[in-house]
């Protein structure tokens, strides 16, 4: 177990120092993901059980990867048809501060109805159409991560951990919205106000790309944009109606949009239509970020299977004994490791007899694990996606965004605790 933990820590540091050691983080993540399981199985006598556990975890990991793949492909198809112009043309301000508020609030509320991962992908694609300067765009990407995670925390379908608690009957949909919307908004508001001091003047709008010989017509653009957005919005509805995981909804939606795109461009020759096809969109998405995600989640799954995360949760429960501090620490820990196994471990440690539905503990856990991941760029699915798409350096995020996210996280937590004492 010690060797496994050491491998994870060393790999984590190597990922953080990616630009210094000049080794791609995806390669490191894949190596530590495999090595953690190698050390786990080598020093165990129950090899068949471990293999079964790996296959089970791979099923859970694959759900996220296929969802990410489907969402990114849909976004690329919308982009290929200039669909985001429908939104960007309506955002007329070039003032950095005003634009920051628009992007942050849009991300916050959109993530509640989509989810934080999909929202991050859509919003990053959007700011690429609005901001040319890389440094400015990175600051906006940082606030998108914070806003998407904060917005996802107060909605039962906005974050995978909140969804887990909702499905497990630890929380109810209406109650979690009422209790967490204000703390989650404060979690965004504090870093948003703080970031005003770092941004001055106007953004530089990207130069218009060389016009295609056969640009998409307005009807095609509208059909692909509204169909694509509708698919992303209806994934939670698909999940609720069918009880199938979200990746099934996104794959069905991708198949539907694929069919629509094929019909729209059926009259074009192969050369003209290739830029609007799914195969071309798949070549444009960042597959290295998906492989990075795979490696990280496999490593964390190994930590969960060995009982490291469960043992850590038990130790905190025994040593600290203060409910608020325990949940705050779990939230901080979710910035380092994925919040899904942390919430799963917490659900296993505390039952509904001890903490019934809509108990203070579950609500605070939903807030902390949902927003705590913003403190580090690899602490949430939204952060990992943004890191891959915008090529954000771990150290840059740590220096520029982490402190703002931490202050927002703590401010929202204080608001939640005071809100419970004063009003509920």
pLDDT at 251: 93
Whether residue 32 is contained in a domain is answered as no
Cα distance between residue 174 and residue 223, in whole Å = 33
Cα distance between residue 32 and residue 5, in whole Å = 10
What percentage of the chain carries pLDDT values higher than 90?
31
pLDDT at 109: 92
One-character DSSP codes across 294-344: HHHHHHHHHHHHTTHHHHHHHHHHHHT--HHHHHHHHHHHTTTS-HHHHHH
Q: What angle do CA 87, 142, 177 make, to 5 degrees?
A: 75
pTM reported for the whole predicted model: 0.74
Whether residue 284 is contained in a domain is answered as yes
What tokens appear for 179 in the block? 């209790």
Per-residue pLDDT of the chain (424 residues), as tens digits, is 788 889 888 988 888 777 678 888 889 989 999 999 999 998 888 888 899 989 988 887 888 788 878 888 888 898 888 887 888 788 888 899 999 999 999 999 988 877 788 789 889 988 988 898 888 999 999 999 999 999 999 988 788 788 778 877 898 888 999 999 999 999 999 999 999 888 888 888 887 654 455 566 788 889 998 999 898 888 878 877 898 888 898 899 999 999 999 998 888 888 778 888 888 888 888 788 788 878 888 888 888 888 887 777 678 778 887 888 989 988 998 888 767 667 776 776 777 888 898 899 999 999 999 999 999 988 887 888 888 888 888 889 999 999 999 999 999 999 999 998 888 6
Whether residue 148 is contained in a domain is answered as yes
Residue 224 lies in domain: 52-205+212-423
Whether residue 186 is contained in a domain is answered as yes
pLDDT at 210: 46
Cα–Cα distances (Å) from 67 to 63, 195, 337, in that order, read 6, 31, 20
Whether residue 286 is contained in a domain is answered as yes
Say whether 277 sits in a helix, a strand or coil.
coil
Tally of domains within the chain: 1
154, HSE (Cβ side, Cα atoms, 13 Å): 23
Whether residue 415 is contained in a domain is answered as yes
Whether residue 3 is contained in a domain is answered as no
Whether residue 41 is contained in a domain is answered as no
Helices (H) and strands (E) in the chain, counts: 22, 0
């Amino acid at each position: 177990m010690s060797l496994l933990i050491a491998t994870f820590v060393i790999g984590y540091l190597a990922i953080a120092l990616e630009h210094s050691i000049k080794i791609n983080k995806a390669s490191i993540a894949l190596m530590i993901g495999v090595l953690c399981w190698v050390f786990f199985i080598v020093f165990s006598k129950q090899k068949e059980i471990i293999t079964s556990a790996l296959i089970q975890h791979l099923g859970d990991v694959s759900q996220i990867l296929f969802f990410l793949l489907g969402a990114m492909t849909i976004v690329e198809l919308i982009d290929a048809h200039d669909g985001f112009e429908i939104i960007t043309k309506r955002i007329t301000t070039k003032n950095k501060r005003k634009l920051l508020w628009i992007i942050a609030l849009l991300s916050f509320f959109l993530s509640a109805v989509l989810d934080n991962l999909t929202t991050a992908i859509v919003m990053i694609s959007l700011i690429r159409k609005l901001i040319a300067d890389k440094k400015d765009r990175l600051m906006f990407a940082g606030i998108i991560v914070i806003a998407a995670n904060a917005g996802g925390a107060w909605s039962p379908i906005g974050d995978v951990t909140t969804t887990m608690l909702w499905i497990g009957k630890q929380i109810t949909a209406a109650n979690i919205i009422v209790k967490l919307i204000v703390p989650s908004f404060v979690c965004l508001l504090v870093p948003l106000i703080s970031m005003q001091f770092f941004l001055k003047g106007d953004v530089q709008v990207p130069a218009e790309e060389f016009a295609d010989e056969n640009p998409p017509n307005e009807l095609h653009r509208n059909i692909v944009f509204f169909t694509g957005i509708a698919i992303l919005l209806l994934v939670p509805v698909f999940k609720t109606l069918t009880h199938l995981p979200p990746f099934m909804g996104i794959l069905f939606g991708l198949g539907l949009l694929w069919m629509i795109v094929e019909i729209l461009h059926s009259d074009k020759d192969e050369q003209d239509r290739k830029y609007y096809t799914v195969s071309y969109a798949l070549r444009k998405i960042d597959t290295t970020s998906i492989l990075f995600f795979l490696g990280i989640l496999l490593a964390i799954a190994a930590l969960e299977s060995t009982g490291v995360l469960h043992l850590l949760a038990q130790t905190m429960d025994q040593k600290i004994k203060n409910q608020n501090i325990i949940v705050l620490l779990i939230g901080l820990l979710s910035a380092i490791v994925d919040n899904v196994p942390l919430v799963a471990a917490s659900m296993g440690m505390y039952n509904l007899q001890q903490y019934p539905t809509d108990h203070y503990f579950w609500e605070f856990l939903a807030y902390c694990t949902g927003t705590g991941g913003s403190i580090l760029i690899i602490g949430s699915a939204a952060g990992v996606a943004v890191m891959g798409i915008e090529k954000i350096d771990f150290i840059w995020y740590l220096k520029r965004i982490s402190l703002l996210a931490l202050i927002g996280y703590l401010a929202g937590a204080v608001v939640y605790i005071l809100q419970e004492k004063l009003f509920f």
